[in-house]
Amino acid sequence: MRAKVKILDMYSGRYSVFINEEEAKKAKLHPDDLVRIESGKKPIYGSLVISNLVGPGEVGISRDILQLHSLSEGEAVEIAPAGTPESVRYIKKKMHGEKLRKVEIEAIVRDIVDRKLRDIEISSFVTALEINGLDMDEIAALTIAMAETGDMLDIDRKPIMDVHSIGGVPGNKTNILVVPIVAAAGLTIPKTSSRAITSAAGTADVVEVFTNVSFSLEEIKRIVEKVGACMVWGGALNLAPADDITIKSERALSVDPTGLMLASIMSKKYAMGSQYVLIDIPTGKGVKVETVEQARSLARDFIELGKRLGQYVEVAITYGGQPIGHTVGPALEAREALSALMTGKGPGSLIEKALGLAGILLEMGGVAPAGMGKKMAREILESGKAYEKMREIIEEQGGNPDIKPEDIAVGDKTYTFVAPTSGYVTGIDNRAITGIARAAGAPEDKGAGVELYVKVGEKVKEGDPLFTVHAESEARLDQAIVFARRTEPIKIEGMVLQRIGNI
């Protein structure tokens, strides 16, 4: 049927296409049917809503569609039912344990990006991958298909380095030190990061405290070609867009199939043109990878996948059993990172990890001799060259390079928890610390978070402060306190962990 576009002021989280009840009946269309909009440009696929908010001869579209497609009010388009996409057969093939061919994986990824596959099919694909897995041929095909169905960057300044932490450890502002150290040594490192999804602060959330993080690919190219580095949010770029769509199912199901995780990370590196990639795998209780054996197996997969993509990949297995540094939450972490860059000093867990990772990158990029990378990284940090590079990045991204740690506002509603007993700190629960910071309002409330005064192995006396919760409102502070009381994130030897009896 032919119809005139009517833009409906709504975001439904999917491509919603409204037609009138009468016309739906005529066309034998039902709610949530997949339909195709032909406008002379690339066809658009959406989910049907039957509604008298649009009249006969009109087709309503939700604003979700306009984020990637241009349709204008009153434009004449053709609406037709869309059949079952061919790629559903390949998803079924994976369900039945068969290996997928390259063209089949490409078809699935293209149909995801084109929105021909919707929640049902994508969730089924994710579930089939969680159960039946992918081999390295399939992962390489998936990675390349994900990259090539999105935009790609071509920076004219080689070699291009990248670093990625697979995440899960709270307070991990390490890369905010690593990037300027590596760039100060003359290497190119166009770093894209994510915002927090389930954590209290993604690298992009922290960097945003200093400067802008949202740029187009052309702007990124300009920034990186000028200062050798950037620290931007990858989410609004059209890098490997299939990944941004599948993540919705992964989050709802709280699964992260290994093959999909590898493809998700490496497709973005591939799209950014990265040639030398360092993967940081934090390992320990309460993070994604709990044992060194798992970390080693994953490391081999990253390295092998890199080979298939023509990238040189190294992996650093790091300790992720407790938070990095002393702060968790965007503004608190920004303060800590900036202070470390300015003074060259800070918590050992932050400084040593940053220098370790930066050192490996310096060696990979050929600017430090083997075994000398960390030493060189330390010189760059302590000499102030890394801070100088950080100032350039902040300025180039539109922020104030003169910002000082004390200028950064943190939540002024605070509550400090003290040691209930004397003894050694035997454990800090990553998930609980993240939960407290989120309950306090992080990452949306930039000033919310947790400041830790102790780390595992330290001795405390009864009444010593353990950590302070920061929030921007009393209500959020109260929520965080309740959460902290319930989870007891810091365990002290000799503490009664649980008391069971008559109440």
Run of H or E including 88: helix 87-95
Nearer to its own copies, 47 or 267 (CB): 47
Edge-first strand order for the sheet with 423-428 is: 459-460, 423-428, 490-492
Please, what is the end-to-end C-alpha distance for the chain in angstroms?
70
95 binds its own copies (CB under 8 A): yes
The footprint of its own copies on this chain (CB under 8 A) covers a number of residues equal to 50
194 is in an annotated binding site: yes
Candidates 70-78, 89-97, 305-313, 461-469; binding stretch for its own copies (CB under 8 A): 89-97
Q: Rule CB under 8 A: which of 260-299 touch its own copies?
A: none
Nearer to its own copies, 124 or 238 (CB): 124
Residue 324: DSSP 8-state: S
Nearer to its own copies, 128 or 169 (CB): 128
Cβ pair 286, 430 in contact under 8 A: yes
Q: How far is the CB of 205 from its own copies (least distance, A)?
A: 14
Q: How far apart are CA 45 and CA 115, in angstroms?
A: 6
Q: Which residues contact 39 (CB under 8 A, 6 or more apart)?
A: 71, 75, 77, 78
Residue 99 neighbours by CB distance under 10 Å: 12
97 binds its own copies (CB under 8 A): yes
The 4-23 contact track toward its own copies, x by CB under 8 A, reads ----xxxxxxx-x-x-----
Q: How far apart are CA 72 and CA 260, in angstroms?
A: 36
Q: How far is the CB of 32 from its own copies (least distance, A)?
A: 3
Q: How far apart are CA 164 and CA 161, in angstroms?
A: 10
Q: How far apart are CA 460 and CA 212, in angstroms?
A: 40
Place of tokens 């491509």: 15
Amino acid at 168: G
Candidates 28-36, 303-311, 318-326, 490-498; binding stretch for its own copies (CB under 8 A): 28-36
Amino acid at 125: F
Pairing of strands 189-193, 161-165: unpaired
Q: Rule CB under 8 A: which of 234-263 touch its own copies?
A: 248-249, 252-255
What sign results for the dihedral spanned by CA atoms 30, 31, 35, 41?
A: positive
487 binds its own copies (CB under 8 A): no
Q: How far apart are CA 171 and CA 332, in angstroms?
A: 9
Candidates 129-137, 177-185, 261-269, 353-361; binding stretch for its own copies (CB under 8 A): 129-137
Q: Rule CB under 8 A: which of 104-123 touch its own copies?
A: 118-123
333 binds its own copies (CB under 8 A): no
490 binds its own copies (CB under 8 A): no
Name the token pair of 70. Answer: 């241009």
Coil, strand or helix: which one is 8?
strand
Place of tokens 């002290």: 492
162 is catalytic: no
Cβ pair 470, 414 in contact under 8 A: yes
Q: How far apart are CA 10 and CA 16, in angstroms?
A: 9
Q: How far is the CB of 119 from its own copies (least distance, A)?
A: 4
One residue of 65, 79, 126, 160 binding its own copies per CB under 8 A: 126
Name the token pair of 422. Answer: 């004397």
49 binds its own copies (CB under 8 A): yes
Q: How far is the CB of 71 from its own copies (least distance, A)?
A: 18
214 is in an annotated binding site: no
Edge-first strand order for the sheet with 312-319 is: 161-165, 276-283, 312-319
Nearer to its own copies, 359 or 435 (CB): 435
143 is in an annotated binding site: no
Q: How far is the CB of 15 from its own copies (least distance, A)?
A: 11
Give strand ranges (E) for 256-412: 276-283, 312-319, 327-328
One residue of 55, 66, 124, 137 binding its own copies per CB under 8 A: 124
474 binds its own copies (CB under 8 A): no
Q: How far is the CB of 104 from its own copies (least distance, A)?
A: 16
199 is in an annotated binding site: yes
The 349-368 contact track toward its own copies, x by CB under 8 A, reads --------------------
Q: How far is the CB of 313 from its own copies (least distance, A)?
A: 29
Nearer to its own copies, 12 or 468 (CB): 12
Nearer to its own copies, 23 or 121 (CB): 121
* Closest residue by Cα to residue 144 from 309, 31, 5: 309
Q: Rule CB under 8 A: which of 408-437 touch its own copies?
A: none
The 433-462 contact track toward its own copies, x by CB under 8 A, reads -----------x------------------
67 binds its own copies (CB under 8 A): no
Helix 292-309 with 136-148: angle, nearest 10 deg: 60
92 binds its own copies (CB under 8 A): yes
195 is in an annotated binding site: yes
Which of 256, 412, 464, 478 is catalytic? The answer is 256
* Closest residue by Cα to residue 300 from 279, 319, 272: 279
288 is in an annotated binding site: yes
| Furthest CA-CA distance within the chain | 77
168 is in an annotated binding site: yes
Q: How far apart are CA 289 and CA 299, in angstroms?
A: 11
**Annotated binding-site residue numbers:** 168, 194-199, 203, 264, 288
| Site residues (vs its own copies, CB under 8 A) | 8-14, 16, 18, 28, 30-33, 47-53, 62, 64, 84, 88, 91-92, 95-97, 118-124, 126-128, 130-132, 248-249, 252-255, 444
Binding site membership for AMP: which residues? 168, 194-199, 203, 264, 288
Q: Which residues are part of the catalytic machinery?
A: 256
